């Protein structure tokens, strides 16, 4: 194993070479092979795979599954084989789902391996060769060039114009200028500008670097280890449904035991008869259909969410969303588009020009003072855009394998943004170079802070085009263009331009200035001294644009009682600007700053840290471990959190969160595999839509469960009551099982698909302590069970003089139709069925109709009625019994009316 050091950035290069026993010429082949044997391959080791058989068997370790297995065995014993097959199918279905979910963590680790590149350029035996990235070892000297994916963590020994893109690791959207000099030991990882990290990219330039860490000792490798050790919190929904199943199983068992005691010891019914009846009652009362019903509810919710661009990877997440009260979100790629986009162009003595459009897509409009115009109609703007396009080595290319219009960039994002704004104006480098040929070039570097190009133009002769840092270009300029006229750049003009630069910077715009100069025709190459006495043209302001839907989505989240917090690795000024633009900071907090860096909170005592994250909503310069610490602390503080992100730096917090939400288009594999939900459109507003659907799913879960509980309680209560008042059993075991099959099967799926009735986003999140069956619905439960019991008993006693088979037919009819009318009640526990609209859930009406027809067949078909031991009742009586059963619907309406008057 490699010895872990964190000071590679702070010690002199010569000393580091000595520590790693290397040299600028690289390692010898023998030394490299020995190190490979000692340190191992440059890869992230996968956790030893678990035996799939044991993983599958583990899914059966659940209280509910035990109850279902017992129910299946009992059904087999009493020869109810259809019930056995149904229950076994339910058990296997749930075990399969659990088995699939078990592998999610392993997939997250595997996806990290995809970050490692396949090949690398290294110096061995003094020669530059290309080898497999897996064979790189500490001490290797590597050559890094534009477009390369960095193979391992390395310290830069020397570089030229070297910049890297680290957004997936640090959260910063802009490339980082790198250098070789030493920096202080306590410098945060994101500011270690003499280091490069495995899995990040070279945006421009070249560098020679020494490998300091490989495989699991890299920053990415350490993340993989941390990810492996994090246990995903058990979903609150699973806890609630498990508790519900236990409660229902205990009540069912208690009721069945009471039936046996009353029947055998008090009524003296023959043991075999009462035993078989007790078993049948137990099987019918045990919620064997509950897992399937809950899965159906969740699946319907997941389907609806997918239509709103939220793809569910873990079904319970659909209902858990209803309980979320804090959304933690990354900035880059989540709140912003992770694309540098030119949005403003400023010329001296003119109003600013606005540029529309999204990301790298080369379409947009130019407007000034509210009026849209053609860019090439303005000579000064046309000149600025031509300079920006010609003095540029980057481009944006459309992805050929993408169904949507998506682009990817080659080269530096800042230069790519300039190329894209040129395309918006119809200016493309491929056609422009025919009339403006580049003869020489000074590439951008952190030292000079500009790019200069010697261009031979067909109209104006030879000119030097310069694009770079505004303060540098302004200093080098002697003239400026004002409304197409060349003037001396005096102090007044300089001050005005400087104010424009400051104003743009305060709004978190990255600015570049554009200038040029005429040179003699005998000029064939250029140097830095040739870039003095420039003619200043204008300033280009660009930023990673806010996603257009974000501001409204955050407003909706706040109305829905959810707090949104930004956790980013980017700089404080950028985080503050974005937060203000999206409405995340609307008023100052006198207790704490508006934005706090990691170094501001890292050493706070626990209570102070907790108070800080309760009051501050924007944190910047955060490492992945600090994001994880904040998420964990919020959970321990009683919150249920959703975390959104797209990069490797978000993976730890995504996995730890109650609900991890990853971006589907720009998100990394690691982020997606660590999440429960993937946003297929990378739209932050889709999270709020998913929460809305989640609240509807949770409501439907409560109502469907309430319906099942009411059915079971009413059946058992009716049987116990008849035994206590010395009446014959009102229903036989086969009749009870058929009743449950018909009423439950035909009603629960339509109930599960019920649409939301109120604006759930104007309500606060449900409490994580709130169960599926709560105290507030107990009066309604008691009312429904009591009515079903009384109406069934009255009917049974009314027809008993006509014979037991007709009495049971009457009781069966009333019990079935009270349950069907109760299904209408359960569409909403609060709102009248007539306010909802009788025909707004057509699937439920279809289910009720089919169920009613099946009841008629069971009663009136001679063969089937003989199997179930029913005697037909007069048709007019059948119609009257249906009308009688509807009393439960009218009682439910009265209950809702009274309750709503008390609690409007």
Domains of the chain: 13-44+116-229 (2.70.150.10), 236-317+691-902 (1.20.1110.10), 322-336+548-689 (3.40.50.1000), 341-543 (3.40.1110.10)
pLDDT digits (tens, 9 = 90+) for 564-620: 999 988 888 889 999 999 999 877 666 899 999 999 999 999 999 999 999 999 999
pLDDT of 108 > 60? The answer is no
In this prediction, residues 419-423 reach a mean pLDDT of: 95
Catalytic: 330?
Answer: yes
**How many percent of the chain have pLDDT more than 90?**
48
What single DSSP character describes residue 48? P
Query: How far apart are alpha carbons 13 and 10 in whole angstroms?
Result: 9
Helix, strand and coil in the chain, % to nearest 5: 50, 15, 30
pLDDT of 759 > 90? The answer is no
Query: How far apart are alpha carbons 504 and 83 in whole angstroms?
Result: 71
pLDDT of residue 101: 45
pLDDT of 113 > 50? The answer is no
Query: How far apart are alpha carbons 648 and 485 in whole angstroms?
Result: 50
Helices vs strands, H then E, count in the chain: 33, 28
State residue 531 phi and psi, 5-degree precision: -100, 20
Residue closest to 308 by CA, chosen among 295, 321, 326: 321
pLDDT digits (tens, 9 = 90+) for 213-237: 998 899 888 887 777 766 655 667 7
pLDDT of 745 > 50? The answer is yes
SS3 call for 646: coil
In this prediction, residues 738-748 reach a mean pLDDT of: 75
SS3 call for 339: coil
State the helix-helix crossing angle for 685-724 and 290-307, rounded to 10 degrees: 160
pLDDT digits (tens, 9 = 90+) for 178-214: 999 999 998 888 889 999 999 888 888 899 999 999 9
CA angle 464, 437, 475 (to 5 degrees): 15
8 Å CB contact between 197 and 169: yes
> pLDDT confidence of 94, banded at 50, 70, 90?
low
pLDDT digits (tens, 9 = 90+) for 348-377: 999 999 999 988 899 999 999 999 999 999
pLDDT of 102 > 70? The answer is no
In this prediction, residues 506-535 reach a mean pLDDT of: 94
Residue closest to 211 by CA, chosen among 412, 411, 45, 39: 39
Q: Which residues pair with 438 in a beta bridge?
A: 455
State residue 687 phi and psi, 5-degree precision: -65, -45
pLDDT of 43 > 60? The answer is yes
pLDDT of 115 > 60? The answer is no
Q: Is the dihedral of CA 249, 255, 260, 265 positive or negative?
A: positive
8 Å CB contact between 452 and 442: yes
pLDDT digits (tens, 9 = 90+) for 789-818: 999 999 999 999 999 999 999 999 999 999
pLDDT of 112 > 60? The answer is no
pLDDT of residue 67: 67
pLDDT of 281 > 80? The answer is no
pLDDT of residue 63: 63
SS3 call for 331: coil
Dihedral angle at the C-alpha atoms of 725, 726, 732, 735, nearest 10 degrees?
Answer: -30
**How many percent of the chain have pLDDT more than 70?**
89
8 Å CB contact between 340 and 417: yes
**Residue 137 vs residue 331, higher pLDDT:** 137
pLDDT digits (tens, 9 = 90+) for 378-414: 999 999 999 999 998 888 888 765 566 778 777 788 8
Query: How far apart are alpha carbons 336 and 568 in whole angstroms?
Result: 11
Catalytic residue among 330, 650, 669, 744: 330
CA distances from 442 to 675, 787, 884 (A): 45, 89, 92
pTM of the model: 0.73
């Amino acid at each position: 194993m490699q010895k872990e050091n964190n000071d590679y950035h702070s010690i002199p290069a010569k000393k580091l070479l000595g520590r790693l026993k290397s040299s600028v010429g690289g390692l010898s082949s023998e030394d490299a092979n020995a190190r490979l044997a000692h340190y191992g391959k440059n890869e992230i080791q996968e956790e030893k795979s678990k035996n799939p058989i044991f993983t599958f068997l583990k899914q059966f370790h659940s209280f509910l599954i035990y109850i279902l297995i017992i129910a299946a065995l009992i059904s087999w014993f009493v020869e109810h084989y259809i019930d056995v097959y149904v229950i076994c199918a339910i058990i296997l279905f749930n075990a399969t789902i659990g088995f699939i979910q078990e592998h999610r963590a392993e997939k997250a680790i595997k996806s990290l391996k995809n970050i490692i590149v396949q090949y690398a350029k290294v110096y061995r035996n003094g020669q530059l060769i290309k080898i497999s990235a897996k064979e790189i070892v500490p001490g290797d000297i590597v050559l890094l060039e534009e477009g390369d994916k960095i193979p391992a963590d390395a310290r830069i020994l020397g570089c030229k114009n070297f910049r890297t893109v680290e957004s997936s690791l640090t959260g910063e959207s802009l490339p980082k200028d790198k250098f070789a000099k030493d920096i202080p030991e306590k410098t945060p990882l994101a500011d270690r500008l003499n280091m490069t990290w495995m899995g990040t990219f070279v945006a421009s330039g070249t560098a020679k670097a020494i490998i300091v860490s490989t495989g699991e000792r890299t920053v990415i490798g350490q993340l993989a280890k941390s990810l492996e050790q994090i246990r995903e919190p058990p979903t609150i929904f699973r806890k609630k449904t498990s508790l519900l199943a236990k409660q229902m199983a205990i009540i069912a068992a208690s009721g069945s035991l009471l039936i046996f005691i009353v029947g055998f010891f008090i009524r003296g019914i023959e043991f075999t008869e009462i035993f078989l009846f007790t078993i049948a009652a137990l099987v019918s009362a045990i919620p064997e259909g509950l897992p399937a019903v809950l899965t159906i509810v969740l699946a319907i919710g997941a389907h609806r969410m997918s239509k709103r661009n939220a793809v569910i990877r873990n079904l319970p997440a659909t209902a858990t969303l209803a309980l979320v009260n804090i959304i933690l979100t990354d900035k880059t790629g989540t709140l912003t588009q992770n694309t540098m986009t030119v949005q403003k162009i400023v010329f001296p003595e003119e109003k600013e020009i606005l540029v529309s459009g999204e990301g790298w897509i080369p379409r947009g409009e130019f407007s000034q003072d509210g009026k849209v115009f053609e860019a090439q109609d303005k000579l000064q703007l046309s000149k600025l855009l031509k300079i920006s396009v010609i003095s540029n080595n980057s481009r944006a290319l459309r992805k050929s394998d993408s169904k949507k219009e998506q682009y990817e960039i080659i080269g530096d994002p800042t230069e790519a943004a300039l190329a894209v704004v040129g395309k918006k104006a119809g200016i493309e480098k491929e056609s422009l170079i025919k009339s403006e040929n580049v003869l020489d070039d000074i590439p951008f570097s952190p030292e000079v802070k500009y790019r200069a190009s010697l261009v031979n133009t067909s109209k104006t002769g030879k000119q030097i085009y310069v694009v770079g840092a505004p303060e540098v270009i302004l200093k080098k300029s002697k003239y400026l263009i004002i409304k197409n006229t060349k003037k001396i750049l005096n102090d007044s003009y300089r001050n005005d331009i400087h104010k424009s630069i400051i104003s743009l910077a305060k709004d978190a715009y990255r600015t570049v200035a554009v200038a040029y100069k005429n040179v003699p025709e005998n000029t064939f190459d250029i140097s830095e001294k040739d870039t003095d006495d420039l003619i200043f043209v204008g300033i280009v302001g660009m930023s990673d644009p806010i996603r257009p839907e974000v501001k409204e989505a955050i407003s909706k989240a706040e109305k829905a009682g959810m707090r949104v917090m930004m956790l980013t690795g980017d700089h404080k000024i950028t985080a503050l600007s974005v937060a203000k633009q999206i409405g995340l900071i609307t008023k100052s907090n006198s207790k704490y700053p508006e934005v706090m860096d990691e170094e501001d909170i890292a050493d706070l005592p626990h209570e102070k840290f907790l108070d800080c994250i309760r009051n501050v909503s924007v944190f910047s310069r955060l490492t992945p471990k600090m994001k994880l610490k904040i998420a964990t602390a919020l959970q321990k503080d009683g919150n249920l959190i959703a975390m959104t992100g797209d990069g490797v730096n978000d993976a730890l917090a995504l996995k730890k969160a109650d609900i991890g939400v990853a971006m589907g288009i720009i998100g990394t594999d690691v982020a997606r595999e660590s999440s429960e939900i993937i946003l297929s459109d990378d739209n932050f507003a889709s999270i709020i839509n998913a929460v809305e659907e989640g609240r509807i799913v949770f409501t439907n879960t409560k109502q469907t469960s309430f319906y099942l509980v009411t059915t079971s309680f009413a059946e058992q209560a009716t049987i116990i009551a008849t035994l206590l008042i010395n009446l014959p059993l009102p229903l036989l075991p086969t009749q009870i099982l058929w009743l449950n099959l018909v009423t439950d099967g035909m009603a629960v799926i339509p109930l599960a698909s019920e649409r939301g009735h109120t604006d759930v986003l104007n309500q606060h999140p449900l409490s994580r302590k709130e169960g599926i069956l709560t105290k507030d619905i107990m009066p309604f439960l008691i009312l429904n069970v009591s009515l079903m019991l009384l109406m069934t008993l009255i009917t049974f006693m009314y027809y008993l003089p006509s014979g037991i088979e007709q009495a049971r037919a009457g009781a069966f009819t009333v019990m079935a139709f009270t349950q069907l009318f109760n299904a209408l009640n359960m569409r909403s526990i609060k709102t009248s069925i007539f306010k909802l609209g009788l025909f707004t859930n057509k699937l439920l009406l279809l289910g009720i109709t089919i169920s009613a027809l099946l009841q008629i067949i069971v009663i009136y078909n001679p063969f089937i009625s003989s199997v179930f031991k029913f005697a037909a009742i007069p048709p007019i009586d059948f119609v009257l019994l249906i009308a009688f059963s509807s009393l439960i619907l009218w009682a439910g309406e009265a209950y809702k009316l009274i309750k709503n008057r008390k609690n409007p």
